[in-house]
Amino acid sequence: MVTSKELKVQTKADLVQMAKEWGVTGVSRLPKDELIKRLVKASRGRNSASARQQTKATNSRRGVKQSGTAKGTATAQRGSSKSSMKGTSSRGSKGQASSTASARQRRRASAVKATGTASAATARRSSSRKEASTATKSAPSPRVRKKIRQLQLQRETGKDISVPKRKVKTSSYAPPQWEPEPKKDRIALFVRDPYWLHATWDITPAAVQRAKAALAEQWHGAKPVLRILRIENATSASGAEIVEQEIDIHGGVRDWYINWSGQSASLKAAIGYLAPNGRFHVICSSNMIRTPQAGSADDIDGHWADMGAKAERILTLSGGYDRGSETRELKEMLEERVKRTLGAPTLAAIGAGADNPFRKNKEFFFELEVELLMLGATVPDAYVTLDGEPIALKEDGTFVMRLPFPDRRQVLPVSSCSRDGSQQRTVVIAVEKNTKVMEPLEADVDNGE
């Protein structure tokens, strides 16, 4: 007979299979404990049936033997025969009990052996299924592999900030041509207004490869970054650089607009790769600029929408007319963006008479007008006047006034009064303008007439 202790070490699948072999039905949905009880009960029934069959067969054989013995004895010896039969019956019962116990042990050993064999087979099948499942999970499908390759390619493309190869159409008749790669790494920083800066750069593929080699194992976690640095004590050679902003950029772009606080500061930009351990690999740095203070005269035009029309002014605010190779690169990059030459014409640097053949029958003139610009601020609901004339205020209480500035002395009283009339402030400005026109200068050049 199989005990519950022997069955508990088996899996449920093995127990269900054993129940099917023993003819026990309706056990597939039973809990394991209930299934073990059913199998133990079935094992007892199988053992009892086998014992009954063996006892019946033994009794049948012994009944035949006793019948033959009774026929051969005399009638007078019935008393002794009865006693003999009693002894024989007692010995037969002992032999029958012994044979029943032996059979029970053999059946139990056979059942345990069969259970072990079935368990080993089930374990082999379960192990095979687990290995097949593990192999299936470890080997991704072709669709998953394709998606992984696409993500890896997208990540590498986003990390590459070098100038991408692209075709440009030079004219409507000529076929598109490949845009030439930049010859060197460079970045320029321009001032748009007190609140916006504009950075533009050209990075070669060789610079990206050098950064990859320099960062080594940190390259996989590195990201391209545009840094904005504030220069403290810009007039001295040992000015400290403080990181003001770190902007995450990506491949495929060559310029970036940067929001600024409106404070006047000396700034420069640096582009490179920032590793996970905090190391910053610099590819190149820009020129140094000085942002105008918000509310100053450089802020009257607000945010410029047309960069090409204001290119000279942007170049001036960005320090592009200073001497030095750094400012020459700045001017070159801005000229490439606006597609025109900035600054004075080339002939003006040659001499006053050099352009004489180009201006025959043309009148050369030069006029200059000066305006007086007045900036101010007060509470938004105040009433402001200039020499008695009301001035319109913006929503924040600021105002801008353009006044003619003739050649004479002017006294301009400006007053601000609260709406309830309880407070008033007045500022008197005295300005004077003197204009002197110099004698014209003309080179003595023979026109060949």
The predicted-structure confidence for 387-401, as pLDDT tens digits, reads as follows 888 888 888 999 988
Provide the residue type at 48 as one letter: S
Residue 442 within any structural domain of the chain: no
Give the residue numbers spanning the domain of 48. 4-67+85-138
Residue 70, pLDDT score: 46
Q: Can you give the CATH number for the domain in which 225 is found?
A: 2.60.40.10
Instruction: Say if residue 337 is in the same domain as residue 212.
Output: yes
Residues 233, 299: one domain? yes
* Residue 49 falls inside a structural domain: yes
Domain membership flag for residue 366: no
Mark whether 269 and 223 lie in a shared domain.
yes
Query: How many CB atoms are closer than 10 A to CB 147?
Result: 12
In a domain, 161, yes or no: no
In a domain, 159, yes or no: no
CATH of the domain at 413: 2.60.40
Domain count, the chain: 3
Q: Is 22 helix (H, G, I), strand (E, B) or coil?
A: coil
Question: Is the pLDDT confidence value at 324 over 70?
Answer: no
**Residue 319 pLDDT:** 60
pLDDT band at residue 121 using 50, 70 and 90 as cut-offs:
low
In terms of domains, do 308 and 220 share one? yes
153 is a domain residue? no
pLDDT digits over 133-163, tens only?
665 556 677 888 888 888 877 777 788 898 8
Note whether 294 and 413 are same-domain residues. Answer: no
Would you state the pLDDT for residue 351? 47
Residue 37 inside a domain? The answer is: yes
Continuous segment of H or E residues that includes residue 283: strand 280-285
Could you tell me if 90 and 213 lie in one domain? Answer: no
Last residue of a domain, one of 347, 362, 384: 347
Same domain, 43 and 105: yes
Same structural domain for residues 19 and 63? yes
Residue 16 has pLDDT above 70, yes or no: yes
Based on the fold, state whether residues 211 and 105 are members of the same structural domain. no
Same domain, 410 and 319: no
Hey, how many other C-beta atoms are within 10 angstroms of the C-beta on 304? 14
Q: Are residues 200 and 305 in the same domain?
A: yes
Whether the pLDDT of residue 43 is over 50: the answer is: yes
DSSP secondary structure, 344-405, as one string? S-GGGGT-TTTTGGGGTT---------EEEEEEE--TT-EEEETTEEE---TTSEEEEEEE-
Buried b (16+ CB within 10 A) or exposed e, 198-219: bbbbbbbeebbeebbeebeebe
CA 110, 114, 119, 124 dihedral sign is positive
Rounded to the nearest integer, the mean pLDDT of the chain is: 74
Domain boundary pick from 347, 363, 387: 347
What pLDDT shows up at residue 277? 93
Last residue of a domain, one of 347, 382, 404: 347
pLDDT at 98: 56
Q: Is residue 150 part of a domain?
A: no
Residue 279: band (very low, low, confident or very high) from pLDDT cuts 50, 70, 90: very high
Q: Of all helices (H) and strands (E), which one includes residue 32?
A: helix 32-72
Range of weakest confidence among 85-94, 128-137, 138-147, 212-221: 85-94
Side chain identity at residue 224, one-letter code: P
**Mean pLDDT on 79-103:** 53
Residue 194 dihedral angles phi and psi, to the nearest 5°: -60, -15
Together in a domain, 326 and 186:
yes
List, for residues 233-258, the tens digit of each pLDDT value.
766 666 788 999 999 998 888 889 99
pTM: 0.44
